[in-house]
Amino acid sequence: MSTTLFTNAKMIDGRLCDIAVAAGRITAIEPAGVSSPQAERIDIAGQLLVPGFVEGHIHLDTSFYGDTWVPHRPCTNGFDVHERVAFQADNMAKAAPMEERARKQLDLCIANGTLQMRSHVMVDGSVGLTSLETILAVRETYRELIDIQIVAFPQSGILKSPGTPDLLDAAIGLGADVVGGLDPASFDRSIDGHLDVVFGVAEKRGVSIDIHLHDAGTLGAFTIEEICDRTVALGMQGRVAVSHAYGLGDLGTDAARKIAGKIARSGVSIMTNAPGNHSFPPVALLRQEGVTVFSGSDNIRDSWWPFGDGDLLRRAEIISYRSGFYTDMDLASAFDVVTSAGAMALGLEGYGIEIGAKADFVTLDAEHVPLAVVSVPKARRVFKAGKLISQPS
Ligand SMILES: [Zn+2]
């Protein structure tokens, strides 16, 4: 079994180390210079070496990244999920083939050091399982480069889109890993009806759950409590996520702290990408109460907004900026959101820079993590299973 030695790697804690890798896993971490000289060597030259970023929420099927520019259409009377879904259907009909767009988006993410991903893929009465089939095929061709979890995402609702309950079940049978949901109250007008289907499929198929929840204020908070109760009732702690959870950002501190305790005890994770001028979950408060907070790009150049660069380090900067994170400890916590906390939320095995973990890592030209978060250095070498898969051109 051949060993590769990654020499002079700056660890997150500041130590300079040599990291031995064999069969795609880290087998030893020693102070720099003391390791066996026989192995093949790759010099990290004192750069920061961090685990691959965890893209916890993206949409590989609906991005126009790399396609022609699609000007953003505003909603006619404030943000309206139904209207945005209709805009998306119009835009998708004119877009380049999905496989091509998904590949471009994946290439972008990998070059930025993302090696683990959770992508939502539309499954509903309009597209059936066709988008899922395409993204499953793309995933297969990228399996040596990035690990991808796929969420069967009912973009058009579950109760409002005939046939979707059966399609979600069939999607898991076809290869999706996680069952999704969308605004049980405001979209489907029935929290219980919607969650009965989502948790029903999860229980039957033994899969995790990740629900888009845009609902604001107490409606959003109430829905989260319902999700927490069902999670505990089914013993699904650690396997349920709520994406966006904007409502948590609308609550006063006392109310937010109270529900944060419940979320933590239920083992429900919260995903935020700190978007635009929207209220978003209080990241520091949630983490203080023990909630796993993770992040993702969400939409990249799609029908929802024109932003996104597939860079989770940039996302950590955005989260820090919007959360008022200035101290080293706070900046490091934002970095944790896009790395280790993401791995926990996604239930990843073998994540991190430690003996026995997968040799999936990225080099950053920064002295330490807080500086990386505020400076977002772009020249990165990306290693998957110890093999170089991307480097600065
Ligand atoms: Zn989304």
Express each pLDDT in 113-166 by its tens digit.
Answer: 999 999 999 999 889 999 999 999 999 999 999 999 999 999 999 999 999 999
Give residue 214 CA to ligand 1 midpoint distance, Å: 10
Cα–ligand 1 centroid distance for 58 (angstroms): 6
> Dihedral, CA atoms, 147, 206, 339, 35, nearest 10 degrees?
-70
Query: Taking the C-alpha atoms of 200, 58, 223 and 282 in order, what is their torsion angle to the nearest 10 degrees?
Result: 140
C-alpha 52/C-alpha 156 separation (Å) is 33
Residue 372 Cα, ligand 1 centroid: separation in angstroms?
26
For residue 326 the two structure tokens come to 């200035």
The amino acid that residue 193 corresponds to is: G
In this structure, are residues 267 and 27 in contact, taking their beta carbons and an 8 Å threshold?
A: no
Distance 212 CA to ligand 1 centre (A): 6
Tokens representing 241 are 């996520």
Distance 242 CA to ligand 1 centre (A): 11
The Å distance, Cα 243 to ligand 1 centre, comes to 7
- Beta strand 387-390 with 382-384 is antiparallel
Centre of ligand 1 to C-alpha 88, Å, is: 13
CA of 118 to the centre of ligand 1 (A): 10
- Residue 182 CA, ligand 1 centroid: distance in Å: 9
* Eight-state DSSP code of residue 39: S
Ligand 1 centroid, distance to 357 Cα (angstroms) = 29
Ligand 1 centroid to Cα of residue 272, in Å, is 10
Cα–Cα distance measured from residue 26 to residue 52, given in angstroms and rounded to the nearest whole number: 14
pLDDT of residue 276: 87
Confidence band for 49, pLDDT divided at 50, 70 and 90: very high
Share of the chain above pLDDT 70, in %: 99
Kindly give the distance from the C-alpha atom of residue 299 to the centroid of ligand 1, in angstroms, as a whole number: 6
Rounded CA separation 376/41 (Å): 27
What pLDDT is recorded for position 188? 95
CA of 296 to the centre of ligand 1 (A): 9
Q: How far, in Å, is the centroid of ligand 1 from the Cα of 297?
A: 9
Q: How many whole angstroms separate alpha carbon 10 and alpha carbon 32?
A: 9
User: Distance, CA 366 to ligand 1 centroid (Å)?
Assistant: 31
Centre of ligand 1 to C-alpha 369, Å, is 27
What confidence category does residue 282 fall into, taking pLDDT thresholds of 50, 70 and 90?
very high
Taking the C-alpha atoms of residue 393 and residue 382, their distance in angstroms, rounded to an integer, is 12
Give one DSSP letter per residue of 69-97, joined into a string: --PPPPPBTB--HHHHHHHHHHHHHHSPP
Q: How far is the CA of 84 from the centre of ligand 1 (A)?
A: 12
CA of 4 to the centre of ligand 1 (A): 38
Q: Which token pair is 305?
A: 């907004």
For range 6-20, the mean pLDDT = 97
Is the CB of residue 38 less than 8 Å from the CB of residue 371?
Answer: no
Spacing, Cα 17 to ligand 1 middle (Å)? 38
* Ligand 1: centre distance to CA 315 (Å): 15
Greatest Cα pair distance, the chain, in angstroms, is 67
Report CA(271)–ligand 1 centroid distance (Å): 10
Q: What is the pLDDT of residues 237-254, one digit of tens each?
A: 999 999 999 999 999 999
Query: Quick check: 53 pLDDT over 80?
Result: yes
Predicted local distance difference test score (pLDDT) of residue 37: 64
Separation of 3 CA from ligand 1 center, angstroms? 40
CA 22 / ligand 1 centre spacing (Å): 37
Calculate how far, in angstroms, residue 83's C-alpha sits from the geometric centre of ligand 1: 15
Supply the pTM of this predicted model: 0.96
Conformation bin of residue 189: beta by default, left when phi > 0, alpha when psi is -120 to 50: left
Residue 352's pLDDT band (boundaries 50, 70, 90)? very high
Q: How far does residue 5's CA lie from ligand 1's centre (Å)?
A: 39
Is the pLDDT at 367 greater than 70, yes or no? yes
pLDDT one-digit tens code per residue, 54-85:
999 999 999 999 898 989 999 999 888 889 88
CA 302 to ligand 1 centroid distance, Å: 11
Q: Are 85 and 122 in contact (CB under 8 A)?
A: no
User: 72: which residues sit within 8 A by CB, 6+ positions away?
Assistant: 305, 306
For residue 181, how far is its CA from the centre of ligand 1 (angstroms)?
Answer: 10
Distance 161 CA to ligand 1 centre (A): 18
